Amino acid sequence: MTPEQFLEIARVLPEPLLLVSSDGQLLATNQPVADMLGLRRQQLREKTLFEFVTESANDVVKYLQACSSSRAMVIGSLTLRKNDGQTLICRSQGAVIQPWSPESSALILLRLENRILASSNFVLLNEKIDELAKEVQRRKQAEEALWKANQELEIRVEQRTTVLQETLNELQLTQTQLIQAEKMSSLGQMVAGIAHEINNPVSFIHGNLHYAHKYTQDLIKLVQIYQHFFPNTPSEIQEYVEEIDLNFIIQDITKLFQSMKVGTERIQEVVQSLRNFSRLDEAELKQVNIHEGIDNTLMILEHRLQARHEYPEIKVIKKYSQLPNVTCYPGQLNQVFMNIIANAIDALEVSAVNGQWSKVNPQTNHNQTLTKNNPQIEIKTEVIDEKWITVSIVDNGLGINEQVHSKLFDPFFTTKPVGKGTGLGLSISYQIIAEKHNGQISCFSVPGKGAEFVIRIPVAHSDEI
């Protein structure tokens, strides 16, 4: 599509639309964009996107690259700098209309939407869902009345009710995706920002520890030389040496610096785990080490595994096999691990209140080593064949009854109290595994005998084959 063709189409549309290249060059805009910025459309010619947004050029380029490489529309956020000096936060939706080639850069269509208006639309969507739910209820009541009068009319009403129910389910799914996309986008940006802010000062401290230790050793050596050549020091110096216990300081200073070095290295490991878990720069398929994703997730949840008040420590048993690198969406897969392991921790905390844990899971007996005395989670990975791998996550909690088990992956179904769960975690996990990765996710559980979630995914994604 040429800029001229774009303008012919966009001119009649009321939505703010931009045609940009993957390096940020504005190729064409329509009048609503100019109105949004408080400029004339002629003033936008031969400009770049970086001149009108407050985000860094690096962040904008990353977003455009994600749009260029994705087959689906990529949702983001851009803050526009208006002509009057004010800023306007917009939700952006980007889609590639001409992929990158050696001869030319990619062409990307950006649709902008005022975030305040988008939130209002979201509220309206919820209202529509509520209205549809009430309509479904009214239809069901009408169905009961019509059954007594005329069975033929009942069939027609039932057909209409089915259509409305399908519409309601589609809207609920759309609502789920909007909520999750917004939540994960905000979470990923927050995690990446915190990791960046922590990493800079910690790197400075870690880098200077070596020199601080060296300088300290030099000063200690200087003191020892003074003691050797001037053994008879004045009484005031000798009293102060005894007061501060110089010999202990000399022995302990190396241990002190070593413990500080271990501490800064630990912080750097946590920061790296935060970065790996968020994976904001990995919107496309990648070959990754599944074990790294699981370990990063455990690092994020480590505070919940430790002993706290009435909850004992939760022991994690890893039984990793030698897995090949798997082609997947790493950030989404990490989200699945997070949902399942967090649910296992929740189940074990409930078991802790009752003071009991099961011993053997009913499916594969993977957790025969789990004891009844302590809460434990076992994570096992296996190679099925050259095309498939499995990840099993087992807990020795109280298990899941049949009524709950049948609804585990239903959207908005939760057994947790109000405010504790949304009922979206396992539903979204199922969508990620089944639809995004062409895999399978199953749960095996018997009340009183723990629960086991088995994730089965292909080594190579179908989009690569």
pLDDT at 190: 66
CA distance 116 to 91: 9
Per-residue pLDDT band at 152 (split at 50, 70, 90) = confident
Q: Does the pLDDT at position 413 exceed 90?
A: no
Three-state secondary structure of 171-225: HHHHHHHHHHHHHHHHHHHHHHHHHHHHHHHHHHHHHHHHHHHHHHHHHHHHHHH
Contact 113, 127 (CB under 8 A): no
- Assign 196 to helix, strand or coil: helix
- The token pair at 375 is 């809460």
Contact 157, 143 (CB under 8 A): yes
Closest listed residue to residue 308, CA positions, set 340, 344, 345, 342: 345
Segment among 192-206, 319-333, 411-425 with least mean pLDDT:
411-425
pLDDT at 401: 83
- The mean pLDDT of 382-398, rounded to a whole number, is 92
Q: Does the pLDDT at position 368 exceed 50?
A: no
What does the mean pLDDT of the chain come to?
81
Q: Does the pLDDT at position 280 exceed 60?
A: no
More confident residue, 369 or 195: 195
pLDDT at 452: 93
Contact 329, 72 (CB under 8 A): no
Angle made by CA atoms 174, 89, 25, in degrees to the nearest 5: 100
pLDDT at 263: 81
| pLDDT tens per residue across span 42-70 | 888 888 999 999 999 999 999 999 998 88
Compute, in degrees rounded to 10, the torsion defined by CA atoms 183, 187, 190, 196. Answer: -150
Segment among 189-198, 274-283, 448-457 with least mean pLDDT:
274-283
Pairing of strands 315-319, 376-383: parallel
CA distance 261 to 207: 9
Any bridge partners for residue 395, and if so which? 377, 451
Segment among 71-75, 190-194, 217-221, 374-378 with least mean pLDDT:
190-194
Instruction: For CA atoms 65, 103, 72, 31, give the dihedral sign.
Output: positive
Q: Does the pLDDT at position 163 exceed 90?
A: no
Contact 293, 301 (CB under 8 A): no
Element (H, E) at 376: strand 376-383
Q: Does the pLDDT at position 282 exceed 60?
A: no
* CB atoms inside a 10 Å sphere around CB 432: 23
pLDDT at 56: 92
CA distance 50 to 32: 19
Contact 445, 451 (CB under 8 A): yes
Interior/surface letters 352-368, b for 16+ CB within 10 angstroms, e for the rest: beeeebbbbbbbeebbe
More confident residue, 309 or 65: 65
CA distance 424 to 411: 6
Contact 464, 380 (CB under 8 A): no
- For 111, residues 6+ apart whose C-beta sits below 8 A from its C-beta are 15, 16, 17, 92, 93, 94
Amino acid at the residue 178: L
